[in-house]
Structures are given as structure tokens and as C-alpha cells.
Amino acid sequence: MEKLYIKPTKSTPEINFDPEKKLLSIKGESYPENSFEFYNPVFEWLERFLSNNFEEEVTFEFEINYLNTSSTKSIMFILDLLEDFIKEIKI
């Protein structure tokens, strides 16, 4: 699986998901005009990654200085995906 890297902009965070290191990092500010459009590749990548990495430790770094309402919904979806992953590996 390839690394997902999205450069930060004034209104979007840096996304650095490295499957080899099992490191998922989101850093910066998040207030894009359309957060679901921005985060959709992140959702898709994360779902594929998590479905192939059960029983392996994964580090998630989350450092957001500011986020708007629609970004909050997107981040909550990411956290839900991670929570489901954790529940699955504990079974």
C-alpha cells in the first residue's frame, strides 16, 4: 500500500499516512471550503489500510490548531473508523 501525503495549505492540514511505519498523522488547521471533498481520499485510504492491518500496532498523531464545523464532522468520522478498528482487534 502506498503512502498518503497531502501537503498543508492555509486552510488544510498536512496528512501524512505512512503504512510502512504504521504512522498516521494529521497536523495543522482544517477549514477547507468543502471538508468532505478534502477528506474523502483520507477516508478511503484509511478504510483500506485498517482492513489490511489487524493485529498490528498503529500510531495516530492528531495535532489540529483550529477546525471548522464541517471539518469536525470529518475528523469524527476518522475517529469512528479508528474506534471500530480498535474494537475489532480486541475481539
Write out pLDDT tens, residues 45-81: 999 998 886 667 789 999 999 999 999 999 999 999 9
Phi/psi of residue 17, each to 5°? Answer: -110, 110
d(CA 91, CA 80): 17
What does the pLDDT read at residue 19? 93
- What pLDDT score was predicted for residue 11? 97
Cβ pair 12, 43 in contact under 8 A = no
Give, for 42, the enclosing helix (H) or strand (E): helix 35-51
- Cell numbers of 35, please? 471538508
C-alpha angle 48-38-85 in degrees, rounded to nearest 5 = 30
pLDDT digit string, tens, across residues 7-43: 999 999 999 999 999 999 999 999 999 999 999 999 9
In whole angstroms, give the CA distance from residue 58 to residue 50: 9
Q: Confirm whether pTM is higher than 0.85.
A: yes
